[in-house]
Amino acid sequence: MTGIDDVARALGVSTATVSRALRGLPGVSAATRGKVLAKAEELGYVASSSAAHLASGRTMAMGVLLPLIDRWYFSSALEGVDRALRAAGYDMVVFSLGGTGLNRDRVFHRSMLRKRIDALLVMCMELTPEELAALQQLDYPNVTIGGYVDGLRNVSIDDGGAATDAMEYLIGLGHTRIAHVRGGGEYGIEFAVPQQREEAYRAALERHGLEARPQWLITGEFRFLESKLAAARLFDQPGERPTAVFASSDEMAFGVLVAAQERGIRVPEELSVIGIDDHEFAEPIGLTTVRQSPEDQGSYAAELLLGELQGAPRLATPPFQPHELIIRRSTAPPPSS
């Protein structure tokens, strides 16, 4: 594998010159720089990141810690992170917990500590006090995406605000019997988010003098299947049915939609459904939702860290990322009873 000496020797210059030229540092004549670039290209030379790290202290890589990859929010956010890192010439190393609580300490006590990265993005994780301590001890620049961890900065939408927007919209349409499908805190995935949204649900009901019926608060684990099952149980309850369902995510809203459809409950005539996310499937299905962009949140968070690595002042409180109500066909005024 061709090294910096090969390039230097081929040109009769020193390795320092090659290093400087390749990294665009000052102190190299245009002519020399040109020759170096050409020769490096010709020989297919690229610096070894390990050697560069050892010598410079920078790995040019960033880590992402997440509970699971294969979930809409996570993979979208990962895409955004990668986009920002790619543009900055950084590599992305991904630490997934794989959806289980196992391996957690392995990740915390081996991988992340291997000094492979310059900064760390923590995605939607609920950390134990020990893990938080371990993380802070590493003292990488870090930031959380889509999850509040005490003592860490967070990049996300205003979850309470987004949920409030959804509720106010339903209430504004005239709904008074509103159910809520909340997400769950499985696998140590973030729990502050579903909780904040639930609180906004309750607060909206209360603000408008509406009844919060315990049996209308159901749990969907942030998943389609679980939500469909929970919605089925909701619809099959004796007595009055809600005229609207506010789901804490689009995937869960899809579950509600399918459960309703299987029972012949017409949407939106008999039942309004609203979600949060603007998942790829939401538009084709006609789901009203509150849009957020995990991809933008990911790239914003990555850029934040990238900037700080380059000496930008530390931003103590990242601003809320935007959310927006998107009205489609799944919501309408309640049936005039």
Partner DNA sequence: GTGAAAGCGCTAACAT
Partner DNA sequence: ATGTTAGCGCTTTCAC
Amino acid found at 167: M
Options 37, 41, 43, 52; binder of DNA; rule CB under 7 A: 52
Cα separation, 197 vs 193, in Å, equals 6
Options 27, 238, 239, 284; binder of a second copy; rule CB under 8 A: 284
- Contact status: 133 vs a second copy (CB under 8 A): no
Options 9, 34, 39, 55; binder of DNA; rule CB under 7 A: 55
Angle at 153 (CA atoms; ends 147, 159), nearest 5 degrees? 40
CB of 224 to a second copy, least distance (A): 5
Whichever of 48 and 237 has its CB closer to DNA, that residue is 48
Cα separation, 62 vs 183, in Å, equals 29
- Contact status: 187 vs a second copy (CB under 8 A): no
Cα torsion through 163, 169, 173, 177, rounded to 10: 10
Options 5, 211, 269, 283; binder of a second copy; rule CB under 8 A: 283
Residue 300 is encoded by which pair of tokens?
A: 């914003």
Cα separation, 229 vs 224, in Å, equals 9
* x-marked contacts with DNA along 32-51 as a string, rule CB under 7 A: x------------x-xx--x
Whichever of 22 and 167 has its CB closer to a second copy, that residue is 22
Interacting partner of 27 out of DNA, a second copy, none (Cβ under 5 to 8 A depending on kind): DNA
Whichever of 214 and 284 has its CB closer to a second copy, that residue is 284
Q: Which of 118, 111, 155, 153 is nearest to 134 (CA)?
A: 111
Count of residues near DNA by CB under 7 A: 29
Cα separation, 226 vs 252, in Å, equals 8
**From 63-71, 161-169, 234-242, 268-276, span contacting a second copy (CB under 8 A):** 63-71
Binding site for DNA (CB under 7 A): 1, 3-5, 12-17, 19-20, 22-23, 26-29, 31-32, 45, 47-48, 51-52, 54-57
